Chains A and B, each alone.
Chain A
């Protein structure tokens, strides 16, 4: 058998630069009713939210830790600070953002991307947004893009109360309950009827504080006939203690509306990423998820689409790259309720240097969902025998008038392909990186150019040093 040589991954450069912690407020570690009350006071919550948080904590204490996914034994909530407020108010010009925080986002390329290709940007640093801005012409269209706290207290308060954690109730699972109890930050987006945004909005989440959690809430409502592309990015420097991300994304796609939700997740490899994302799609609407998962020590991430309206549809395109010390359990879920609905999942998983990648999915077709069409295609690439790659899809079909297909493949890089590229002058390392980039092409071709480049860079970074 061919001998393999492994070299450590190189530094994750810009992502791993730590800022000196200089917080305005850091909540004591742990999770108690007193901490929740204190958090609620710090955030000046309305009464209903304070009660909501306490009720969520009660549910959290009642629910069990999942026994079907990767181990989260290393996560001790008694050592997680659930709220860290940076020394900055939310600004709408980068000049007013404190220099060290601004430098961090500059290194991540957020202000540059805003100038070039975005309709609006929200930037969260630890538990609060430090920057939020939307272009004038977008605001003039009536598009609301603001932070969750402002929305909850301002003129959209009723709307927030109507939709907040209705799609992902705290009883959904233990970490949804945790989110309900300690959420902070995130974005609220409302796109009015028949409004089309030609360029995307973006939120970027940076967790700098050691041993802290980030629990941002994203609530997006795309009204009838409207369309939106929303991009979400996230990263953190690596610490030797556990950090936690338990965000929640709720997407409401109304009649004939379209929403594309793209994510490049690049959390540090000490992060427990226990995120929940869900969309409900009304008649004729569509949701498209584009998801690249590269970071985190442990990840549980399965965006779910509820196709409630007739003729609604979903598409999920994802790539997961699990390297040394990572156990990433990712995939997607869809529930077909309306008639003539359709879903398509297309995913790639890559495992390397002892990384564990699991593709997990569910396709549920209710009895009411006649005329359903659903297809799932997942491919996994094993780059060595120290790693692991599992595929656990499930289908639950309750109408005969459905056409459901599923296909999956697991394999390794073809020696012939590597040999071909090497015969044309490429090094083995570059040849393998190119093949892996091509393997993940399903996601990169769905992203705006700048993000596709970032994703390919991440793959190249992960592949650096693996010669086989």
Chain B
């Protein structure tokens, strides 16, 4: 068993905060590595691609998928990583000029480790939308809670490339949710809009590193990052590191974070309608992920998220 260093921030901070990177325990020797898959979407096409989970009995698995989306095409990619075994999933997407890609990912685990790595390269006037739901599930009695890691790098390489990110998460028990997002603005007039919402219960821990990096020459670019964290457990740990790196004058970058429990006004609203605090908290936790459902285009995608939520939070 080895420790893999993952989720490294492009700019480090104090080591004592323990956020510069993460380590994942991995048995590389017994890892089943699946053949790389290449999917090419030709020009002027519209497609939906499902990247299915690997059905395997192996304890450690890894799989790489590369998708090339040619000019003027429009693609929705749905990746279901509700894992039963430890998985490293690599997804590499190349988006050509004027193409649009929407990636919907479900990252869920009961008692296993999941490492999801996504690299996206965006050409001129292309559009990339990423919707991610991270859901920590209840493991069987006696088993450890799952750990979900995700590392997303988006390179806005050419002018007017656009990236929109919506992420929702729910952690419970001893879940560990550890994310790293890096958006590199290379092209002029590029845009990114990052929204992260989530809830933590029990003793769950979450780290969110979000970096917007305006490279020299990315004039006219705009980047915005916002995170809202709902703290619902007495022993939860939340770490947030929203970074902006900037070597270009004519850009606009903002980030904001709001961390805390349900405010009294919201609680009062629920209570005035006969809903107790615990139910109210579950409703708000569910809402932080359910809002993603509204961003999805078809029933199958919606069901993927809603069924998992139902499994974890019931009717709340």
Contacts and interface: CB of A to CB of B under 8 A. Distances in A.
Contacts of B15: 68
A383 B246 CA distance: 12
A411 B253 contact: yes
Contacts of B246: 380, 382, 388-391, 410
Interface string B241-267: 111111111111111111111000000
B249 A383 contact: yes
B304 interface: no
Interface string B213-225: 0101001000000
B308 interface: no
A150 interface: no
A243 to B, nearest CB: 25
A132 interface: no
Given A68-B13, A391-B244, A401-B261, A384 B238 contact: no
B246 to A, nearest CB: 5
A397 B259 contact: yes
- Size category, A interface: 35 or more
A362 B259 contact: no
Contacts of B164: none
Contacts of B248: 382, 385
Nearest to A411: B252
A405 B242 CA distance: 12
Given A389-B246, A404-B260, A410-B246, A397 B13 contact: no
Contacts of B35: none
Contacts of B167: none
A406 interface: yes
User: Interface residues of A: mostly helix, strand, loop or mixed?
Assistant: strand
B236 interface: yes
B231 A68 contact: no
B256 to A, nearest CB: 5
A399 B239 CA distance: 12
Contacts of A411: 251-253
Given A410-B246, A410-B253, A385 B216 contact: yes
B260 A402 contact: yes
A395 B239 contact: yes
B27 interface: no
A86 B216 CA distance: 47
Contact of A400 (B13, B17, B261): B261
Contacts of B260: 400, 402-404
Residue of A380, A387, A390, A402 ringed by the most chain B CB atoms within 10 A: A390
B252 A410 contact: yes
A402 B253 contact: no
B254 A385 contact: no
B37 interface: no
Nearest to B232: A400
Contacts of A67: 12
Nearest to A68: B12
Contacts, number: 137
A391 B241 CA distance: 10
B72 interface: no
Given A392-B13, A392-B241, A394-B239, A399 B250 contact: no
B118 interface: no
Residue of A360, A387, A393, A402 ringed by the most chain B CB atoms within 10 A: A393
A299 to B, nearest CB: 16
Interface string A338-371: 0000000000000000000000101010010000
Residue of B17, B243, B246, B257 ringed by the most chain A CB atoms within 10 A: B246
Contacts of B235: 367
Contacts of A388: 245-247
Residue of A382, A391, A395, A398 ringed by the most chain B CB atoms within 10 A: A395
A5 interface: no
A412 interface: yes
Interface in B11-37: 11-15, 17, 19-20
Given A390-B11, A400-B233, A408 B255 contact: yes
B243 A390 contact: yes
B297 interface: no
A390 B247 CA distance: 8
B243 A402 contact: no
B77 interface: no
Interface string A407-449: 1111110000000000000000000000000000000000000
A27 B24 CA distance: 50
A7 to B, nearest CB: 18
Contacts of B219: 1, 385
B63 to A, nearest CB: 33
Contacts of A390: 11, 243-246
A362 B244 contact: no
A396 B251 contact: no
A398 B17 CA distance: 13
A408 B19 contact: no
Nearest to A388: B247
Contact of B231 (A364, A384, A397): A397
Contacts of A407: 254-257
A387 B233 CA distance: 43
Contacts of A394: 13-14, 17, 19, 239-241
Nearest to B243: A392
A399 B231 contact: yes
A391 B212 CA distance: 10
B234 interface: yes
A122 to B, nearest CB: 31
Contact of A362 (B14, B245, B250, B252): B14
Nearest to A357: B246
Contacts of A403: 259-260
Interface string B261-283: 10000000000000000000000
Given A68-B14, A410-B251, 6 more contacts: A380-B246, A389-B246, A391-B243, A391-B244, A393-B242, A395-B238
18 contacts: A68-B11, A362-B13, A362-B14, A385-B219, A385-B248, A387-B247, A391-B255, A392-B13, A395-B239, A396-B239, A397-B231, A400-B260, A406-B242, A406-B257, A407-B257, A409-B252, A410-B246, A411-B252
State the 4 A-B residue pairs at the shortest beta-carbon distance, nearest first: A400-B231, A68-B12, A410-B253, A404-B259
Interface of B: 11-15, 17, 19-20, 214, 216, 219, 229, 231-261
Interface of A: 1, 67-68, 360, 362, 364, 367, 380, 382-385, 387-412
